[in-house]
Amino acid sequence: MYNENGAYSVKSAYKFIRGNQHDTLVRLHNRNSEDPEFWKFLWNIQIQPKVRIFLWKMCKNILPVGVNVEEWIESSAPECPFCNLPETQTHALRECEWIRRRWKNYGEKELYEIGEGKSCIDWLAQIFRSASMERIQRFCAILWFLWKERCNHKYNNLKKDEEEIIPKALGWLSSFLEAQASPSSSSFADSTGNVNARTDRWLPPPEGVFKMNCDAGVIQQQGVRLGAVLRNWRGEFVGVMVKREKGLCRPIVAEAKAMVMGLREANHRSLSPLIVESDCQDLVNFLDKGEPDFTELGIWCKEIEELALENERLSGHKVRWRFSSRKTNSLAHWLAHSGLGWNHQMVWVDNPPSNLLCMVEADLGLGPLGQN
């Protein structure tokens, strides 16, 4: 347990333990790593490809944890930055107190607990053998989010409320599965047998959930136009908002104003749980970071966060915001760029103008898409 100079360190203790257990660990690892059915199952889990790659790296023991990095870079320290114990994969993903606290928020603790004393690949193999596909998908999404959060904390000093991580992971998984299950998200073969990419159309949220799409357009030397639309899980609109403001601002600030407008209406109407979509990736990234900011954008984003908390209190579910492509955000984009001459905020909750109804149908693929 001591090095060649007779000194004790975390590194020397780790090497001693690793040397004594090496043969046993190799046998356990090989038992599953050589099983073709294990790998076939892993690569066929219906989950985001980057999660499957993460699981593969975990099973191959090549994640960049301290003891692995030390083998690649000799001057690197193998200690865990949170507890100073050797940072192995099992330590980083299951044993460290930092990760244990977050696993406590997981509703199915037995999948976490059956990994006790196992290598990562044996842990995963045991879960594959004992759990349903739905539970496996949830577990893998949570494991990926915990790893990502650990890396953000370790390397970027970005910290999030530990109670938010698992709900966010499950929401992320739900959105992915929702898109995969939708007929409009499936690949299809044309008459020549070629597989075409999915049609980019707006997708309804899960049952019982509302979705708000928003967008903004900057009119040179005139001001900005804001657009937002609220729809339910059947694709029926429950609110349409448009507003024209005098005065210029950065496009990302205008996008934030549109989101505030839509959230205010959603809260006024008690529409919750709520998913918010914007085609402004920079705004979504800014909100995801959640860092204090005292610029004009930061002030508007602070209001977005406060409105989101108010909405959460209505149903107990956090507001989820995410990026939406221009095509899947087409109705909000049309509202913000249509050139309609409203000089103040207009809100429709029923009997909207006929051209708006046509756009709602077009957004669901029921009619031709309107032109700006």
For the ranges 31-45, 244-258, 336-350, which has the lowest average pLDDT?
A: 336-350
Question: Average pLDDT for residues 352-363, to the nearest whole number?
Answer: 64
Going along the chain from its start, the domains and CATH numbers come out as 10-179 (no CATH), 210-363 (3.30.420.10)
Q: What is the pLDDT of residues 208-218, one digit of tens each?
A: 999 999 999 88
| Residue 133 exposure: Cα atoms within 13 Å on the Cβ side | 8
Question: Average pLDDT for residues 267-295, to the nearest whole number?
Answer: 89
Q: What are the DSSP E strand ranges found in 10-60? A: none
Residue 119 or residue 222, greater confidence: 119
- Does 86 sit behind a cis peptide bond, omega within 30 degrees of 0 on the bond before it? no
Distance of CA 234 to the CA centre of its chain: 23
The per-type count for the chain, helices as H runs and strands as E runs, is 15, 8
Q: Across the strands, what pairs with 241?
A: 228, 347
Q: What are the DSSP E strand ranges found in the chain? A: 188-189, 195-196, 210-219, 223-231, 237-246, 274-278, 320-323, 346-348
DSSP alpha helix (H) spans, 117-237 = 120-130, 133-156, 162-181
Question: Average pLDDT for residues 67-87, to the nearest whole number?
Answer: 82
